Chain A
Amino acid sequence: DGGITQSPKYLFRKEGQNVTLSCEQNLNHDAMYWYRQDPGQGLRLIYYSQIVNDFQKGDIAEGYSVSREKKESFPLTVTSAQKNPTAFYLCASSQLDEQFFGPGTRLTVL
């Protein structure tokens, strides 16, 4: 059953701690993306990767880091430098233009 998985669904962290969000896809897609969504808002691009071992900053990359060591995986680390990390994080992948989304991770920083 092909798709994108994100884990965990809900994540709680203390302020000042780094946290890594998982994103895995078995669709054999080359490109992967991370978005942030705040309540009642649209999607803002954090980072994207068009191929393994390569990634680019999106519109709001400050305070975040990523890696793309494997085609299937694109983990996102929310660092302590991110001033307002509480949000809904969405991962997506694509081979052509249509992006396929995971179920999201809701991160709450206490």
Chain B
Amino acid sequence: GESVGLHLPTLSVQEGDNSIINCAYSNSASDYFIWYKQESGKGPQFIIDIRSNMDKRQGQRVTVLLNKTVKHLSLQIAATQPGDSAVYFCAETGAGNNRKLIWGLGTSLAVNP
């Protein structure tokens, strides 16, 4: 079946280091990808998104890379801070009128001071 999955369920980094969270997807027809951050007990918050006609998109301290050849998506966080500690979800939307998001399992990021 079609799915979005994450390579690592947990990631622990030192404060100030760069973090890389990876995501694999299986639907080659997906044309929109999005990353969310979810802090404990709260709803997910939008971080960054990218469409399939792009390979890279940058935001404030975050970069999303899309490799359509190997169906891989990654989120890079520069100079990781304690406030970045959260669960990160990737999601994809397929082409067509049904724009439901297909969610990955999530990666828990822990930032050590």
Q: Chain A residues in contact with chain B, CB under 8 A?
A: 31, 33, 41-45, 48, 58, 88, 90, 92, 94, 96-104, 106
Contacts and interface: CB of A to CB of B under 8 A. Distances in A.
A43 B4 CA distance: 12
Contacts of A94: 99
Contacts of A42: 89, 103-106
Contacts, number: 44
B21 to A, nearest CB: 14
B44 A101 contact: yes
Contact count band on B? 10 to 19
27 contacts: A31-B99, A33-B100, A41-B105, A42-B103, A42-B104, A43-B44, A43-B89, A43-B103, A45-B100, A88-B41, A90-B43, A90-B44, A92-B43, A97-B32, A97-B34, A98-B34, A98-B46, A98-B49, A100-B46, A101-B36, A101-B43, A101-B44, A101-B45, A102-B43, A103-B42, A104-B41, A104-B43
A103 B93 contact: no
Contacts of B42: 103-104
Interface in B48-86: 49
A57 to B, nearest CB: 11
Contacts of A48: 100
Of B43, B49, B106, chain A has the most CB atoms within 10 Å of the CB of B43
